[in-house]
């Protein structure tokens, strides 16, 4: 045990020694922190390392461990040594484990004797010191939030056999006073979260050193059941193979075609089909349900052999509707992600847009599912994972791609003659994959079975209806990832419940299994290397540029700027965009960085995209001038400095997201209205908008209108008039989404002109109307009357009374829309509309719950809102309203 002496020659007994660095003016000087005992008292000493080499044992700084000495245990570990009378020490827990849960004696080393002695000190229970120190960032709070809203990372690390012990409160409530004089400032060079992330990153790169690959059998099946209930056993599908699979991934489409299911209500069909599946699983194994997820008619269920369940973890499910307004669930996808042993899986079941000619719409659905579906991890320090950020992705479903042939008889003849390969050359999915417009990175097995669509239900006969659909391979199974071997790909003609035939694929998939002994060796070697590098070098990066300008930003139009980040230092580094002080997120709602964090090795360069997209959630503030295209991003480098990126640009106002009252007082397109006038109009309070409307109008606004505002916004009139004149007979109106390119043209047209003809298809114009209503900052039925509407939904007289309380422009728009929708319902035989469907759809737009209740609606409240709208569609509540 080393003996030290102070300047007075007093002897002290050394209990613990750790080495670190003192950083002064960016210069690192090696130091030792020493816990010593002198008589019955304890002290913390600091001395230069070079003094040891020359034989000097005198401490440079001495801090008594007394009643004023405090230990604060927090998420961010740092050692703060304060020489004021209220000295503080901030440390990390003594029991340290590696990020994957496997102990490493090299990460933290301590003497059992020292631990026992230290535990007697006041406030030091379960505490210890870290090995290495560097400078502490002044904006420490900023760094504590550096994991929010970051981009997906690689698949999760090996499973943890142990969990970190819960931190014990030290019983101290005293806070560090801001006026304390901090003389010495230390911080671990590897903050625990930062170091763990870097270790995970490099351990994943070295996983070939400690993992073995073992094959497991996967059954992947898909079936569009056309809204039918199961009428036979599913054995020909789910028990087709002699050997039982290890996992079942089973997807359904059009499980329930009812209006209630379309608008997210429960479906009895879900339980019917789940029961049928459970009864038909392979009898030679016992299976446990891992997860079931449903969105309207799409359902995905995962089963696993009972003995494998303990190796399944991190199970999560997500949905993404691609129907009207990009969220209605008549089309879209559902997905389940999980980790099996040490391999991450994502299973996606999708139902894409229908109709032969709409392959571009199917491509659009695929892109939307990929871009919008992500899995928020339980650990908030791990950013959401996208579909493609998994080791293996299995994609199944009714993808609805057809054949580029119009003659059904010609196709049937080729099928009879066995000319399957010739037909597949005209398969839309194969064409889109080869041109990299959809599913470019996915693989599919060779198709040797005949088309699975379309049959007369309950038969093996091709469609004999008047439409005589051309046969097609709508139902498919694709995959991406390594160690995936397809064993069989087939259809199951014996099942005749639906107009589709079920399809299945059987895989042997290599799963990574960790060898703990080899893992520990690789881990310890990595930690030793990192220790050496961190003690010698600080990270540094070079940005290609830091100033970005986005010109003429428009509603729902994506703009993207890119830059490169290069690690020009000598050590690996981790970068992340962090929130500015007092901000919860690292950027404004209309901005996103992709990726928002990552790892770089020396000399490695990465491209980062900055994306600006104005949605309904941010358009109103930009329209009114409250917000602008200006922001500053903080790119933080772990153990390094912060880099600041400047974002600027100009926003082009849109009628979408503008209040009804404001629009009623604009006779010209919004782009022709001076910005100052637009801001003035938007600043009027809700109560006095009507009274002040005449005063705010400029001369050109009121010319020829008798100084009175419009009864309804011209934009609503233009959209509704176009649909009334052109779309009353349109099949599946308000049920088929529009094309994004057409929607952008429609928005631009309404913002810049008063057109005689609106561009785009009827479906695009219909969706534009819905988007317009959804983007209103105050819905047609004002938030303050929401509860009144629900309470009066049972009485048509009370419903009329509530509507009469609306401001003039809101009341006029509501009456106008109800008249239009009643007219559409007269042609329901052609457009397939129903009162219940229209009421359910427009209740979500016209009668929205206040922002504080968003996501909290009960099924009963949703039904009351539907009943309220339905009363006006059937005419009962609309008497004497016009």
Chain centroid offset of residue 669 CA:
36
pLDDT of 127 higher than 70 = no
What pLDDT score does 415 carry?
97
What pLDDT score does 106 carry?
33
- Alpha carbons 519 and 100: distance in angstroms, whole number: 10
For 569-585, the pLDDT digits (tens) are 988 899 999 999 888 89
What pLDDT score does 170 carry?
38
What pLDDT score does 95 carry?
36
6 or 200: which carries more pLDDT confidence? Answer: 200
- Alpha carbons 37 and 814: distance in angstroms, whole number: 81
Q: Which of 19-23, 52-56, 741-745, 753-757 has the lowest mean pLDDT?
A: 52-56
pLDDT of 78 higher than 70 = no
Cα radius of gyration rounded to whole Å, the chain? 33
Measured in degrees and rounded to the nearest 5, phi and psi for residue 277 equal -65, -45
Task: Please provide the size of the chain in residues.
Answer: 882
Packed helices 859-873 and 808-825: angle between N→C axes, nearest 10 degrees: 80
What pLDDT score does 548 carry?
97
For 312-357, the pLDDT digits (tens) are 999 999 999 987 766 666 789 999 999 999 999 999 999 999 989 9
What is the reported pTM? 0.69
Tell me the percentage of the chain whose pLDDT exceeds 90. 60
How many other CB atoms sit within 10 Å of the CB of residue 551? 11
The residues with which 70 forms a beta bridge, in sequence order, are 88
What pLDDT score does 11 carry?
67
Check: CB of residue 560 under 8 Å from CB of residue 593.
Answer: no
Q: Where are the beta strands (DSSP E) in 718-811?
A: none
Query: pLDDT-derived band of residue 480, with 50, 70 and 90 as boundaries?
Result: very high
For 592-614, the pLDDT digits (tens) are 999 998 999 999 999 999 999 99
What pLDDT score does 264 carry?
55
What pLDDT score does 875 carry?
75
For 230-271, the pLDDT digits (tens) are 999 999 999 999 999 999 999 999 998 876 666 655 678 999
SS3 state of residue 593: strand
Query: pLDDT-derived band of residue 123, with 50, 70 and 90 as boundaries?
Result: very low
SS3 state of residue 652: coil
What pLDDT score does 97 carry?
39
- Distance between the two ends of the chain, CA-based, in angstroms? 96
Torsion from C-alpha of 364, 367, 371, 372, nearest 10 degrees: 50
- Alpha carbons 460 and 455: distance in angstroms, whole number: 6
Query: Which structure tokens are listed for 273?
Result: 């089909």
pLDDT of 626 higher than 60 = yes
For 496-516, the pLDDT digits (tens) are 999 999 999 999 999 999 999
pLDDT of 523 higher than 60 = yes
Tell me the percentage of the chain whose pLDDT exceeds 70. 75
Burial (0-12, 13-18, 19+ Cβ within 10 Å), 814: buried
Query: pLDDT-derived band of residue 16, with 50, 70 and 90 as boundaries?
Result: confident
**Mean pLDDT rounded to a whole number for the chain:** 81
187 or 467: which carries more pLDDT confidence? Answer: 467
What pLDDT score does 437 carry?
95
- Mean per-residue pLDDT, 72-94: 39
Check: CB of residue 571 under 8 Å from CB of residue 555.
Answer: no
Measured in degrees and rounded to the nearest 5, phi and psi for residue 458 equal 75, 10
418 or 80: which carries more pLDDT confidence? Answer: 418
Query: Which structure tokens are listed for 254?
Result: 């059009």
Q: Which of 696-700, 790-794, 832-836 has the lowest mean pLDDT?
A: 696-700
Q: Would you say the C-alpha torsion 785, 790, 792, 793 has a positive or negative sign? A: positive
Query: pLDDT-derived band of residue 18, with 50, 70 and 90 as boundaries?
Result: confident
- Alpha carbons 760 and 748: distance in angstroms, whole number: 12
325 or 626: which carries more pLDDT confidence? Answer: 626
For 796-808, the pLDDT digits (tens) are 999 999 999 999 9
- Mean per-residue pLDDT, 56-77: 56
Q: Which of 16-20, 156-160, 215-219, 402-406 has the lowest mean pLDDT?
A: 156-160
For 268-315, the pLDDT digits (tens) are 899 999 999 999 999 999 999 999 999 989 999 999 999 999 999 999
For 400-432, the pLDDT digits (tens) are 999 999 999 999 999 999 999 999 999 999 999
Query: pLDDT-derived band of residue 176, with 50, 70 and 90 as boundaries?
Result: very low
- Alpha carbons 234 and 475: distance in angstroms, whole number: 17
HEC letters along 243-274: CCCCEEEEEEECCCCCHHHHCCCCCHHHHHHH
What pLDDT score does 114 carry?
34
Measured in degrees and rounded to the nearest 5, phi and psi for residue 23 equal -105, 120
Query: Which structure tokens are listed for 427?
Result: 């398969």
Chain centroid offset of residue 494 CA:
40
What pLDDT score does 384 carry?
85
């Amino acid at each position: 045990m080393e003996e030290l002496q102070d300047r007075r020659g007093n002897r002290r007994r050394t209990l613990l020694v750790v080495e670190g660095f003192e950083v002064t003016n960016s210069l690192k000087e090696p130091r030792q922190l020493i816990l010593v005992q002198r008589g019955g008292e304890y002290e913390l000493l600091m001395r230069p390392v070079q003094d040891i080499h020359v034989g000097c044992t005198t401490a440079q700084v001495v801090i008594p461990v007394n009643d004023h000495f405090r230990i604060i245990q927090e998420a961010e570990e740092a050692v703060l040594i304060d020489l004021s009378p209220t000295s503080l020490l901030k440390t990390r827990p003594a029991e340290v484990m590696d990020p994957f849960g496997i102990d490493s004696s090299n990460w933290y080393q301590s003497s059992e004797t020292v631990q026992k002695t230290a535990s007697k000190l006041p406030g030091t229970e379960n505490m210890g010191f870290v090995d290495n120190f560097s400078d502490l960032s002044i904006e420490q709070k900023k760094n504590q939030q550096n994991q929010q809203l970051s981009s997906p990372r690689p698949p999760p690390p090996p499973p943890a056999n142990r969990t970190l012990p819960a931190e014990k409160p030290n019983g101290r409530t005293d806070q560090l006073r801001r006026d304390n004089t901090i003389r010495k400032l230390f911080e671990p060079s590897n903050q625990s979260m930062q170091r763990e992330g870097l270790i995970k990153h490099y351990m994943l790169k070295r996983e070939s050193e400690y993992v073995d690959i073992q094959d497991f059998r996967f059954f992947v099946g898909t079936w569009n059941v056309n809204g039918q209930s199961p009428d036979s056993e599913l054995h020909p599908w789910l028990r087709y193979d002699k050997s039982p699979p290890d996992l079942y991934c089973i997807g359904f489409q059009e499980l329930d075609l009812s209006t209630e299911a379309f608008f997210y209500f429960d479906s009895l069909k879900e339980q019917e089909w789940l029961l049928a599946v459970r009864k038909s699983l392979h009898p030679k194994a016992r299976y446990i349900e891992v997860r079931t997820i449903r969105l309207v008619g799409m359902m995905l269920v995962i089963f696993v052999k009972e003995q494998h369940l303990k190796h399944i973890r991190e199970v999560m499910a997500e949905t993404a509707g691609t129907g009207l307004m990009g969220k209605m669930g008549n089309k879209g996808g559902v997905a389940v992600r999980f980790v099996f042993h040490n391999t991450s899986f994502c299973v996606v079941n999708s139902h894409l847009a229908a109709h032969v000619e709409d392959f571009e719409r199917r491509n659009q659905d695929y892109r939307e599912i990929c871009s919008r579906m992500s899995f928020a991890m339980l650990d908030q320090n791990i950013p959401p994972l996208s579909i493609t950020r998994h080791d293996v992705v299995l994609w199944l479903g009714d993808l609805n791609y057809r054949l580029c042939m119009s003659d059904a008889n010609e196709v049937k003849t080729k099928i009879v003659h066995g000319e399957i390969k010739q037909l597949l050359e005209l398969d839309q999915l194969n064409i889109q994959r080869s041109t990299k417009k959809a599913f470019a990175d996915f693989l599919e097995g060779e198709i040797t079975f005949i088309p699975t669509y379309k049959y007369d239900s309950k038969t093996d006969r091709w469609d004999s209806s008047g439409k005589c659909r051309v046969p097609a391979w709508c139902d498919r199974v694709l995959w991406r990832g390594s160690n995936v071997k397809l064993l069989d790909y087939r259809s199951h003609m014996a099942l005749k419940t639906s107009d589709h035939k079920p399809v299945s694929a059987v895989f042997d998939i290599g799963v990574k299994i960790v060898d703990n002994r080899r893992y520990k060796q690789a881990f310890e070697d990595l930690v030793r290397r990192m220790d050496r590098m961190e003690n010698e070098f600080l990270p540094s990066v070079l940005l290609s540029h830091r100033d970005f300008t986005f010109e003429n930003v428009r509603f729902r139009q994506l703009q993207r700027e890119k830059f490169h980040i290069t690690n020009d230092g000598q050590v690996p580094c981790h970068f992340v965009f962090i929130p500015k002080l007092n901000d919860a997120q690292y950027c404004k709602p209309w901005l996103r960085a992709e990726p928002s964090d990552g790892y770089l090795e020396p000399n490695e360069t990465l491209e980062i995209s900055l994306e600006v997209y104005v949605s309904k959630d941010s358009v109103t503030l930009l329209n009114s001038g409250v917000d602008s295209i200006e922001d500053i991003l903080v790119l933080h480098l772990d153990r390094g400095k912060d880099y600041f990126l400047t974002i600027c640009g100009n926003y082009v106002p849109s009628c979408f997201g503008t209040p009804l009252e404001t629009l009623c007082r604009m006779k010209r397109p919004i782009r022709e209205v001076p910005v100052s006038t637009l801001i003035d109009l938007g600043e009027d309070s809700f109560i006095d908008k009507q009274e002040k409307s005449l005063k705010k109008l400029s001369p050109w606004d009121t010319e020829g209108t008798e100084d009175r505002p419009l009864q309804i916004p011209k934009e609503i009139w233009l959209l509704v008039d176009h649909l009334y004149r052109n779309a009353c007979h349109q099949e599946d109106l308000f049920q088929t989404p529009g094309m994004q390119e057409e929607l952008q043209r429609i928005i631009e047209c309404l913002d810049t002109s008063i057109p005689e003809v609106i561009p785009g298809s009827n479906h695009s114009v219909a969706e534009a109307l819905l988007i317009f209503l959804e983007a209103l900052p105050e819905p047609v039925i004002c938030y303050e009357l929401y509860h009144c509407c629900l309470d009066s939904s049972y009485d048509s007289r009370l419903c009329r009374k509530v509507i009469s309380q609306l401001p003039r422009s809101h009341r006029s728009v509501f009456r106008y829309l109800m008249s239009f929708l009643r007219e559409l319902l007269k042609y329901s035989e052609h457009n397939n509309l129903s009162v219940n469907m229209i009421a359910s759809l427009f209740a979500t737009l016209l009668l929205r719950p206040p922002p504080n209740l968003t996501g909290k609606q009960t099924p009963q409240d949703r039904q009351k809102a539907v009943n309220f709208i339905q009363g006006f569609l059937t005419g009962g509540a609309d008497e004497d309203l016009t």
